Structure 1
Amino acid sequence: MNEELKDKVLKIISNHRTGILSSVENNKPHSRFMIFYNDDLTLFTPTKLDTEKINEIKKNSAVSVLLGYEMNGQNDAYVEIAGTSNINDSQTLKNKYWEGTFRKWFEGPDDPNYVFLEIQPETVRILNLNGETAQELNIES
């Protein structure tokens, strides 16, 4: 793995928490804005267990995530991540990423409806990095 490119990716995803998650619904992309946390290159996004996206991911685990664009123009770097997702209801994870603003949707970190989508990247591309051509980081399994 290209460590220099990985460091660039980590810098972008660590500095941008809001992004777009696309899953597959009836063989078509279905996108929505989500909050993301990262642990190295693995992404986590909180969600309710009883949502449409959970059903979509159970049927097809392929997802795509866009993180980083700030609307500053064509040289605004962002990351495109293609990978697979699964449901993670680890209490450790729920405690680690719990935020008070989540009370709008959940009773607390012990709420059984509060889960995470865990996204394992397969391919990561950096686009618009200082006007350079897209750079791709392939993740070794």
Structure 2
Amino acid sequence: MDQEQIKQKVLNILDHHKVGSLATVEGGKPHSRYMTFFHDGLTLYTPTSVETHKAEEIENNPNVHVLLGYDGDGFGDAYLEIEGTAKLNGSKELKGQMWNERLSRWFEGKDDPNLTVLEIHPSEIRLMNEGESTPVTLDL
């Protein structure tokens, strides 16, 4: 599989799978939770509150790991392992793009001062379980 084919498979998984796990580092150990992800190219975004543990953990150590794409239908489901760095992005424009009514469970609206967006920039993306030629790493 060449790099363009790998990239297209990665983007396809990002387009069709929104829920995955996000691991941050707390006290030198991983701390994982499920999150909903959106993407623009290979950059991932997920809304959260500035008052969460993950926000504090990312400010202390921006290294994150994301698992995304596994369907749970059985062995061989393609998925992504993404290593990268995250930062809190509270821009009004980005919060507006991420906002939907399902977030009203946690926030008063897109202008809620506690709403922020985690912006994740991958340093490595591995495509897993996509045939005998995987895992393969996308060159970034």
Q: Given the alignment of the two structures, is residue 16 of structure 1 paired with residue 17 of structure 2, yes or no?
A: yes
Structure 1 position 76 matched with structure 2 position 58:
no
After superposition, residues 36-51 of structure 1 pair within 5 angstroms as 36-51=37-52
Deviation at 1:132, TM superposition (A): 3.5
Q: Deviations over 1:35-80 (max 9, x none)?
A: 0000000000100001100110011100000100011112100001
Residue number in structure 2 paired with 1:126: 127
Structure 1 unpaired stretches of 5+: none
Post-superposition, which runs of at least 4 consecutive aligned residues in structure 1 deviate over 3 A?
Answer: none
TM-score by length of 1: 0.95
**How many corresponding residue pairs?**
139
> What is the alpha-carbon root mean square deviation over aligned residues?
1.2
**Which amino acid is 1:30 matched to?**
H
Q: In the alignment, is the contact (CA less than 8 A) between 1:74 and 1:131 conserved in 2? A: no
The letter for the 1-side match of 2:27 is N
Structure 2 residue identity aligned to 1:68: G
Q: Which residue is 2:138 aligned to?
A: 137
2:23 equivalent to 1:6 = no
Percent identity for Structure 1 against Structure 2: 47
Write the distance in 2 (CA, Å) between the matches of 1:136 and 1:113. 36
